[in-house]
A and B are shown apart, each in its own frame.
Chain A
Amino acid sequence: DFQMTQSPSSLSASVGDRVTITCQASQGIQKYLNWYQQKPGKAPKLLIYDASNLETGVPSRFSGSGFGTDFTLTISSLQPEDIATYYCQQYHNLPPTFGQGTKLEIK
C-alpha cells in the first residue's frame, strides 16, 4: 500500500495568514492526489483533485501543487470558516490511502 504522510499534524494560525500543509507519498503517484476538508461532525468535502484542480464551488484562496511524491495545500488568506481537519489522499493505486490529517485552528 502507498503510505501518505502529512505535516504538520496540527497548526495554529491567524485570520489572514497564508497556511501551507504538505503531503508526501511513499512512492510516486503522479498527479493522483486529492485534498479534503472535514469539519467536526460532518463528512469530508473534496477541495482539490488531481493535485492542483479546484473543485467547483471551492473558494479560490485554496490551491494545490505537486507531482510524484511531494504535494502542498495552500490557503492564501485564512478565514474563520476554514477551521477544520484536512486530509490528503492518493488514488494512483488501490487501496486508496489517506494522510493522517492536519488539524487547523485559529490563533
Chain B
Amino acid sequence: QVQLVESGGGVVQPGRSLRLSCVASGFSFSSYGMHWVRQASGKGLEWVAVISYDGSNRYYADSAKGRFTISRDNSKNTLYLQMNSLRVEDTAVYYCASSRSGWYGLFDNWGQGALVTVSS
C-alpha cells in the first residue's frame, strides 16, 4: 500500500538549517507532484511548497519563499525540504503529501509527519 515516511525533524536554534526527507513507496512516485504541508500545534493546516513530478517546477508559500527549497530524487523515491534561516514561527509538524492532481494539490496520501521545533 501507499506509504510516505518523513524523517529529519528535531530541535534547532533560530537561524539554523534542517533538511526533511520523505520516502515514498507503493505508488509511482515519479509520476506525482509532491507537496509539503505544515501544522503548528493546535492550529490549522498551512501549505508550504510543491514540486512537479519531474522536479522541473517548484512553487512556495510566501512564508517559505527564499528560505526553503523543495527537491526530489526520483531514483530514490524521496522528497526533500531544505529549511534555512529557521524562525520560531516555523515550529510545526511537517507533512509530505502526494497529489493526485499533480501541481494543484488534491492530497490523496499523507505521511505521518515530522516535528520541527525552532527554539533557542
Residues of A whose CB lies within 8 Å of any CB of B are 32, 34, 36, 38, 43-46, 49-50, 55, 87, 89, 91-101
Contact = CB atoms under 8 A, between A and B. Distances in A.
Contacts of A50: 106
Instruction: Bin chain B's interface residue count.
Output: 20 to 34
B108 A46 contact: yes
A36 B107 contact: yes
B50 interface: yes
A43 B45 contact: no
A94 B50 contact: yes
Enumerate the 6 nearest inter-chain pairs by beta-carbon distance, A residue then B residue, closest first. A96-B105, A43-B110, A91-B105, A91-B104, A98-B45, A96-B47
B50 A100 contact: no
Contacts of B45: 36, 38, 44, 87, 89, 98, 101
6 contacts: A43-B112, A91-B101, A91-B106, A92-B104, A93-B104, A98-B47
**Interface residues of A: mostly helix, strand, loop or mixed?**
loop
Interface in B71-120: 95, 100-101, 103-108, 110-113
B105 A89 contact: yes
B77 to A, nearest CB: 19
